[in-house]
Amino acid sequence: MSTTSTVPATGRTVVPESVGQARRRRSFAVISHPDAGKSTITEALALHAKVLNRAGAVHGKDGRGGTVSDWMDIERERGISITSAALQFTYRDAVINLVDTPGHADFSEDTYRVLSAVDAAVMLVDAAKGLEVQTMKLFEVCKHRNIPIITVINKWDRPGKEALDLMDEIHERTGLQPAPLNWPVGVAGDFRGVLDMATGDYLKFTRTDGGATVAPEDHLSAEEAEGLEGGAWLRAVEESDLIVATGAGHDPEGFLAATSTPVMFGSAVLNFGVRFLLDTLVDLAPAPGARPDADGRPREIDSPFSAFVFKVQAGMDVAHRDRLAFVRVCSGTFERGMVVTHSGTNRPFATKYAQQVMGRERTSIDRAFPGDVVGLVNANALRVGDTLYVERPVTFPPIPSFSPEHFAVARAKDSSRYKQFRRGIEQLDHEGVVQVLRSDLRGDQAPVLAAVGPMQFEVAEHRMAGEFNSPISLDRLGYSLARRTDADGRDRLRGQRAVEVLSRSDGVLLAVFSDRWRLQSVERGLADILLAPLVVSM
């Protein structure tokens, strides 16, 4: 389907509203190691977009209020964010959707789902620490999805590594060609401003009290900059010339193909470089485009409404204990109250309660466009990966699950609360908090919970006790690897030591193994019964 049509009488081109609105959208997520400054930069972005008057209202560790997504005690205790929300704001003429990702690599699977809802990612790097473990893991997730990445070197106001060394590190560890858009004036710890690589001009930053307001920026010519900053400016010019000489200039095609990453320097806490990031998102990051369906045919953005569920979250509001399904709009226009079809069941689904969720704040959404995130309240039938549409049917490819590496048998501590236990386990399964595996041998009272990272178990335990009133005990099993198999495989593996076949609620059969030697021995002897590995092992 074309995205424009021509009105014969006037020859004017009419752009459908969904297309015009989609072009304005920039949907992205921030990936980083904990403490690199994700919450601070989220707050700073929102501040620049004038959502907030003073920084501190969204962010909130250490008594600074509530973070963007700190519904759960466990998040507060650990200072991590497990649940996710989307922050929407306008900047220039663009509508920015910042989708929150879990900060911890144990929730990579969750991150993977969230990243299916964005068109770009910002990789936030601590200038002193460089690329940390979890940044790398989350980067791998992005790479797997071919998501264009913008790199922000944060905390330049503090002593840190050399800028050129950081470029080498990015290149060596990610394989992406770093393409700096600006270059710092002043070494790490003495941040004065940046040299704009596109114009050669100087963008001088001025500190404000505690960084709590938008930092003033002055645009100066190279001559003025040299007069003002002397050696610090000359060094920036020399280093940026070196970068240009190696051919590491901005490469728009490489960025969109996820082979090159634009890089910029900033300090989230001082609000330095935040406007530059916003401008980069608007100018360079891709707007939503056609999304391929399960058969690979693109669903154009001006097609009738379609969306897919990338996150299901219950218990976000302690007072209501309701369940939200977050969908990303892929085509057409969403209007609250519209009746859509749920592709899994072919049943109609009424969208009376549609919300935007930002921390504890929820506001009703009346209309949404491709790239937007809508929270559908009490969407009990919806599961992660499901598609919703109107008129022309479409099913988007399922969001693949990760290969679990940790396994534990769950049992209700109080067997008289079996009903609550069942309900809770089912809910956690629907949300994808853990994968729930069963077998005839183990029975329904003792399902196996499978996770990519052990912290998922903590969340499961915590929620079973607090939300479903059914505390559980978890007995760890000695398995560490899983492969798909089929009914034949189940029969032939029966009775083998340190191997077990369990079934997932979507019907997939998983053969689980204690270690890679056991797996390799099965692969050698019974290769035909093991199907493709389950996506990535992180």
Rounded to a whole number of angstroms, the minimum distance from the CB of residue 112 to ligand G4P is 19
Which residue, judged by CB position, is nearest to ligand G4P in the bound state?
37
User: Per-residue x/- mask for ligand G4P, residues 256 to 275, rule CB under 6 A?
Assistant: -----------xxx------
Residues near 70 by beta carbon (within 8 Å), at least 6 away in sequence: 60, 76, 81, 359
According to DSSP, the residues that pair with 325 across neighbouring strands are 312, 376
Rounded to a whole number of angstroms, the minimum distance from the CB of residue 203 to ligand G4P is 16
* Residue 503 CB-density burial (10 A; 0-12 exposed, 13-18 middle, 19+ buried): middle
Three-class DSSP category at 239: helix
- Among residues 154 and 331, whose Cβ is nearest to ligand G4P? 154
Question: Dihedrals φ, ψ of 14, to 5°?
Answer: -105, 125
User: Per-residue x/- mask for ligand G4P, residues 95 to 114, rule CB under 6 A?
Assistant: --------x-----------
- Among residues 62 and 209, whose Cβ is nearest to ligand G4P? 62
- Among residues 37 and 385, whose Cβ is nearest to ligand G4P? 37
- Among residues 166 and 268, whose Cβ is nearest to ligand G4P? 268
Amino acid at 232: A
- Among residues 268 and 399, whose Cβ is nearest to ligand G4P? 268
Question: Count of alpha carbons within 13 Å of 59, Cβ hemisphere only?
Answer: 22
Q: Which of 506, 538, 496 is nearest to 530 (CA)?
A: 496
- Among residues 270 and 312, whose Cβ is nearest to ligand G4P? 270
Three-class DSSP category at 99: strand
Rounded to a whole number of angstroms, the minimum distance from the CB of residue 374 to ligand G4P is 25
Three-class DSSP category at 43: helix
Rounded to a whole number of angstroms, the minimum distance from the CB of residue 219 to ligand G4P is 22
Residue 145 DSSP one-character state: T
Three-class DSSP category at 299: strand
In the block, residue with structure tokens 């307001």:
213
Question: Count of alpha carbons within 13 Å of 276, Cβ hemisphere only?
Answer: 35
Q: What is the C-alpha to C-alpha distance for residues 435 and 211, in angstroms, rounded to an integer?
A: 43
- How many chain residues interact with ligand G4P (CB under 6 A)? 18
Rounded to a whole number of angstroms, the minimum distance from the CB of residue 255 to ligand G4P is 23
Rounded to a whole number of angstroms, the minimum distance from the CB of residue 373 to ligand G4P is 20
Tokens (6 digits) for 523: 């692969």
- Among residues 55 and 290, whose Cβ is nearest to ligand G4P? 55
Confirm if 379 and 349 have CB atoms less than 8 A apart.
Answer: yes
Residues near 155 by beta carbon (within 8 Å), at least 6 away in sequence: 36, 37, 126, 127, 128, 188, 267, 268, 269
| Residue 210 region by backbone torsions, left for phi larger than 0, else alpha for psi between -120 and 50, else beta | left
- Among residues 103 and 180, whose Cβ is nearest to ligand G4P? 103
User: Per-residue x/- mask for ligand G4P, residues 30 to 69, rule CB under 6 A?
Assistant: --x-xxxxxxx--------------------xx-------
Rounded to a whole number of angstroms, the minimum distance from the CB of residue 215 to ligand G4P is 11
Q: What is the C-alpha to C-alpha distance for residues 78 and 94, in angstroms, rounded to an integer?
A: 34
Rounded to a whole number of angstroms, the minimum distance from the CB of residue 198 to ligand G4P is 23
The gap from C-alpha 257 to its chain's centroid, in whole angstroms, comes to 18
- Among residues 34 and 344, whose Cβ is nearest to ligand G4P? 34
207 binds ligand G4P per the rule CB under 6 A: no
Pairing of strands 367-368, 306-314: unpaired
Site for ligand G4P in 135-174 (CB under 6 A): 154-155, 157-158
**Cα dist. 126→103, 153, 158, 309, 487 in Å?**
14, 6, 10, 32, 49
- Among residues 41 and 368, whose Cβ is nearest to ligand G4P? 41
Confirm if 478 and 448 have CB atoms less than 8 A apart.
Answer: no
Confirm if 484 and 519 have CB atoms less than 8 A apart.
Answer: no
Rounded to a whole number of angstroms, the minimum distance from the CB of residue 270 to ligand G4P is 6
Part in contact with ligand G4P (CB under 6 A); list of ranges 29-37, 363-371, 380-388, 405-413: 29-37
Q: In 54-161, which ranges are continuous DSSP H helix?
A: 73-78, 108-115, 133-144
The total number of residues written for the chain in this structure: 538
Rounded to a whole number of angstroms, the minimum distance from the CB of residue 206 to ligand G4P is 15
- Among residues 131 and 269, whose Cβ is nearest to ligand G4P? 269
Tokens (6 digits) for 281: 């998102």
Rounded to a whole number of angstroms, the minimum distance from the CB of residue 361 to ligand G4P is 19
Rounded to a whole number of angstroms, the minimum distance from the CB of residue 111 to ligand G4P is 14
- Among residues 157 and 300, whose Cβ is nearest to ligand G4P? 157
Site for ligand G4P in 331-390 (CB under 6 A): none
Amino acid at 426: E
Rounded to a whole number of angstroms, the minimum distance from the CB of residue 318 to ligand G4P is 23
- Among residues 25 and 155, whose Cβ is nearest to ligand G4P? 155
Q: For the chain, what is the radius of gyration of the CA atoms?
A: 25
Contact residues for ligand G4P, defined by CB under 6 A: 32, 34-40, 61-62, 103, 154-155, 157-158, 267-269
